[in-house]
Amino acid sequence: MQKAVIQVSITDATIKPSIEAKNIFKKSFIFVSLSFVFLLVVSLSL
Q: What pLDDT is stored for residue 1 in this prediction?
A: 61
CA angle, 23 as apex, 42 and 41 as ends, to 5°? 5
Q: What pLDDT is stored for residue 46 in this prediction?
A: 84
Of all helices (H) and strands (E), which one includes residue 2? helix 2-45
Q: What pLDDT is stored for residue 16 in this prediction?
A: 81
What ranges do the domains of the chain cover? Answer: 1-46
pLDDT tens per residue, range 9-29:
777 777 787 888 888 889 999
Q: How far is residue 34's CA from residue 17's CA, in Å, rounded to a whole number?
A: 25
Per-residue pLDDT at 30 exceeds 80: yes
Per-residue pLDDT at 39 exceeds 70: yes
Note the pTM of the prediction, 2 decimals: 0.51
Cα–chain center distance at 13: 16
Q: What pLDDT is stored for residue 4 in this prediction?
A: 74
